[in-house]
Structure 1
Amino acid sequence: MSYGLPLALLLAAAALARLYAVLPRATPRRRTAPPRTGTCALAVFLGSGGHTSEALALLAGLDFARYTPRTYVLSSGDALSAKKAIALEAAKASPAGSSRKSPYALVTIPRARRVHQPLLTTPFSSAVSLAACAYHVALAPLLTGRPFADVLLVNGPGTCVMLCLAVYLNRFLGLPSPKLIYVESFARVKRLSLSGKILKPFVDRFLVQWPDLAQGDSRLQYKGCLV
């Protein structure tokens, strides 16, 4: 008697049960807020163009003394987003003469799909992007002993899906992983973006910037205009 098929089904059922266990609930239990004196390691994905502008507008209102260190995740070839992140850091820097520095880092990952890239080659480039994300989110923290971040902020470009998948790899394996916050683009007035539709069941908080988007969906939260 062959045990191959029953074993495969058992492993698949166990994997699905584990995935279900780490999914966020639609109505999460209230948690005690961390003390305001503590710090929070923050990572943000800059998706180029308008996505980068919106993400940096969100960060501009934060207290960098509390949200530290910061990690800016960039797609390969996106030099403009890197310059904008550095400019924001310079604008928010401590006053001249202060010995206290607010650390940040720039991390570059391959794009999951380039503009006009043939669909036939997209699975390969997505796999390369996912491998790079898994290195930064899972493997590098194991080697250095420093978690990738406490919170990961994303707002839509396709490569951020790979980044969130890497976070779920950590969760699946029981490794430290950041909370996922998705902020839908201000340009999305009536419908979610494709990335938003994909990630909605998986992120811990999903914020929209137009009230109609949040109607009838407990997973979506409207907090007003954020950018």
Structure 2
Amino acid sequence: MEDWFPLFCGAALGLVLWRLLVVYAFTGKPRAPGSRAFKTLVVLGSGGHTAEMLNVVEMLRPERYSPRIYLAAASDNMSLPRARAAEEKSSSAATLVGARHYLQIYRSREVGQSYLTSVVTTLMAIAHALWVVFRIRPDVVLCNGPGTCLPVCVAAFLLKVLGLKWATLVYVESIARVQKLSLTGLILYRLHAMDLFYVQWPQLKERFPRSLYVGRLM
């Protein structure tokens, strides 16, 4: 038994490393859209983040990006009602396609929280996000910079590595970021975790060549 345990651990580690290489090889190469609908997880942040994200969601075709699941921090009491109101308004002129769900998750870092203590809260948020994302198993994850999206993207990336679900991860940097990326954006960019990474200013595209610039989205 003791002789087999190191071999088992080595084989498991090798499998994970192989999967990690596969994921990195295909990250940045989203799959062809096809004709089916995509279960879309939309990560909201407080204040301007939510306003910007709802503007992005408004441009999505409801029959293609549905059902939609909105996710916000547990301490955010405004974003989900705004998302619900936006969905109800958009569906007033057309039939609502697919279900809409509204969930909350632990926040990785509160405004003003020290970076030292945020390590612990981020680990807790990742564990919670992994459980939520595992249940949802989205086809697309859409976010734009709030701290809440970091554990969600990490969880979705881990599902890819484990071979449980392959989701397209899309990051849209806030229009307020003119000269440099947000902390969340910088981390996700450095990790090479996102399949599509959009910026809204040409100077950011010059500084971060793997990003995509298609003009102002807001």
Structure 1 residue 159: Cα displacement: 2.2
**What is the match of residue 211 of structure 2?**
220
CA contact (8 A) 2:71 2:102 kept: yes
1:16 CA drift (Å) = 3.9
What's 1:151 paired with?
Answer: 140
1:20 aligns with 2:21: yes
CA distance in 1, matches of 2:26, 2:97: 38
What RMSD, in angstroms, separates the aligned Cα atoms of the two structures?
Answer: 2.7
Runs of 5+ consecutive residues of structure 2 not aligned to the other structure = none
Query: For the residues of structure 1 that align with 2:180 and 2:7, how far apart are their CA atoms?
Result: 42
Look up the match of 2:131: 135
Seq. identity, % = 36
SS in 1 for 2:217: coil
Which residue of 2 is the match for residue 52 of structure 1? 50
Which of these residues, 81, 84, 89, is aligned with residue 82 of structure 2?
84
Name the count of aligned residue pairs: 214
Task: Report the more deviating stretch, 120-129 or 39-48.
Answer: 120-129
Instruction: Give TM-score scaled by structure 2 length.
Output: 0.85
- What CA distance in whole angstroms lies between the structure 2 residues aligned with 1:213 and 1:16? 32
* Alpha-carbon offset, residue 20 of structure 1: 2.5
Using the TM superposition, give the Cα deviation of residue 80 of structure 1 relative to its aligned residue in structure 2, in angstroms: 1.0
TM-aligned CA distance change 1:193 to 1:6, over 3 Å: farther
Task: Give the Cα separation in 2 of the matches to 1:124 and 1:222.
Answer: 34
8 Å contact from structure 1 (residues 40, 69) kept in 2: yes
TM-score (norm 1): 0.82
Query: Matches of 1:7 and 1:150 in 2, distance apart?
Result: 32
- Structure 1 ranges of 4+ moved more than 6 A: 2-11
Deviations 1:39-83 (A, max 9, x none): 221111001111111100101122223321100010012111112
Q: Displacement, 1:173? A: 0.9
User: SS of 1:23's equivalent?
Assistant: helix
